Amino acid sequence: MGAGSMGSIIGGYIAKAGESVVLIDVNKQHVDALNKNGLHIIGMTDLTIPVQAILPEEMKGIYDFVIYVPKAVYNEAALDSLLPHIGPDSMVMTLQNGINEDAVAARVGAERTLGGIINWGGIWREPGVSELATDENEMSFEIGELDGRITERLQAAKQVLEHVCRTNLTQNLMSVRWAKLFINAAFSGVGTVIDGDYGAVLDNDKAVRAAWMVGQETLKTAIQLGHAKEPVMYVKPELLLFSTKAELEGKVKFSRLGMKGNRNVLPSMLQDLRKGLPCEIEVINGYVQKKSRKVGLDTPVNDQVTEIIRELDQGKRKLGTHNLDDVKLPELPD
């Protein structure tokens, strides 16, 4: 449900494996193209997969497993349309950007809610066409129960998602969520500010340093909340902290090397803004801002990035690299 860039690719690979799956989306042109021509995945691969797609109002019966990936700004409408089509044993797994488990559980019930993260990128190009922006060998999911148990239904969800890519089970879902939020707030946030993909952030000396400062502020908030129990960018969270210019330079080099396979990832917030649609700032950088205040932490760089994206979202700014000029970075000691 929410068969945009990511949802289409997920549903397409599951359909390719022979599973019974339907793609649900509000974009009628997209739904029509999927049904007529199949899903065309470009980018890191090139294949066309026959799929079944419907509009939300065309849903029928009860779904046993809902992979839930609408934009968070549409949660209320999407969940309203979904509720009549889930039963007591249905699973609703949110793989959305940001942290949405509480919002989904509040509507469908915690007993039916699972969560996880998508460790790869997709770009919606046109009706029926999505671009895979991450090397297939580097794609993965991490999924879990809200209470940390490894259950039979979680194992069943894993079997379905492994038709797409490697799927790992976690007993620390919120820590995994915050690890992904580190990337989204830092590199997607700054990418949106400069109107560029991850490669543009990595190649811009100021942008990549701004991203790391947002990331550090995010990570410190996660630590205070007790949600830093899982690796972030494949290393222990504390190893990503820095306090000097030299330490920051080490992190910059680390990301330029380690994120090569994700250079083409285009921030979902930026994709929305380019289409003139509302973006998910409040569940990404805005979420970090809100949670940091609750634990008494200041997040000066994230605050600037958040405000710039809010102004872009409100039409008060225009997209472009010039927005980075308004981000002031703190001076670090040598």
149 and 181, same domain (yes or no): no
Instruction: Out of 131, 146, 171, pick the residue that ends a domain.
Output: 171
51 and 166, same domain (yes or no): yes
71 and 133, same domain (yes or no): yes
Instruction: Give the model's pLDDT for residue 161.
Output: 98
Instruction: Give the model's pLDDT for residue 87.
Output: 97
Instruction: Give the model's pLDDT for residue 122.
Output: 94
13 and 141, same domain (yes or no): yes
Instruction: Give the model's pLDDT for residue 319.
Output: 98
74 and 198, same domain (yes or no): no
Looking at the domain assignment, is residue 67 inside a domain? yes
Q: What is the CATH number of the domain that holds 67?
A: 3.40.50.720
In the chain, the percentage of residues whose pLDDT exceeds 90 is 99
Could you give the CA distance from residue 41 to residue 123 in angstroms, rounded to a whole number? Answer: 10
Stronger pLDDT, 320 or 261, i.e. the higher one: 320
Could you give the CA distance from residue 167 to residue 158 in angstroms, rounded to a whole number? Answer: 6
pLDDT tens figures, 271-302: 999 999 999 999 999 999 999 999 999 999 99
Looking at the domain assignment, is residue 257 inside a domain? yes
Q: Maximum distance among all alpha carbons in the chain?
A: 63
150 and 217, same domain (yes or no): no
What's this model's pTM, rounded to 2 decimal places? 0.91
Let me know: does 146 contact 113? Beta carbons within 8 Å. yes
187 and 236, same domain (yes or no): yes
Looking at the domain assignment, is residue 331 inside a domain? no
Instruction: Out of 171, 190, 223, pick the residue that ends a domain.
Output: 171
Q: At what angle do helices 285-294 and 300-313 cross, to 10 degrees?
A: 140
Looking at the domain assignment, is residue 252 inside a domain? yes
Looking at the domain assignment, is residue 106 inside a domain? yes
Instruction: Out of 118, 143, 171, pick the residue that ends a domain.
Output: 171
Contacts of 194 (CB under 8 A, 6+ apart): 200, 201, 204, 207, 320, 321, 323, 324
Provide the CB-side half-sphere exposure for 222 (13 A, CA).
31
Looking at the domain assignment, is residue 333 inside a domain? no
129 and 183, same domain (yes or no): no
Average pLDDT, integer, range 83-107: 96
303 and 209, same domain (yes or no): yes
Q: What is the CATH number of the domain that holds 267?
A: 1.10.1040.10
- What domain range is 109 assigned to? 5-171
Q: What are phi and psi of 316, to 5 degrees?
A: -85, -10
Residue 157 has pLDDT above 90, yes or no: yes
Looking at the domain assignment, is residue 332 inside a domain? no
82 and 108, same domain (yes or no): yes
107 and 167, same domain (yes or no): yes
Looking at the domain assignment, is residue 319 inside a domain? yes
Residue 153 has pLDDT above 90, yes or no: yes
User: How many structural domains does the chain have?
Assistant: 2
Could you give the CA distance from residue 104 to residue 115 in angstroms, rounded to a whole number? Answer: 10
166 and 183, same domain (yes or no): no
Average pLDDT, integer, range 72-83: 96
Could you give the CA distance from residue 228 to residue 53 in angstroms, rounded to a whole number? Answer: 38
Under the banding of pLDDT at 50, 70 and 90, the label for residue 261 is confident
For the beta carbon of residue 162, count every other beta carbon within 10 angstroms.
15
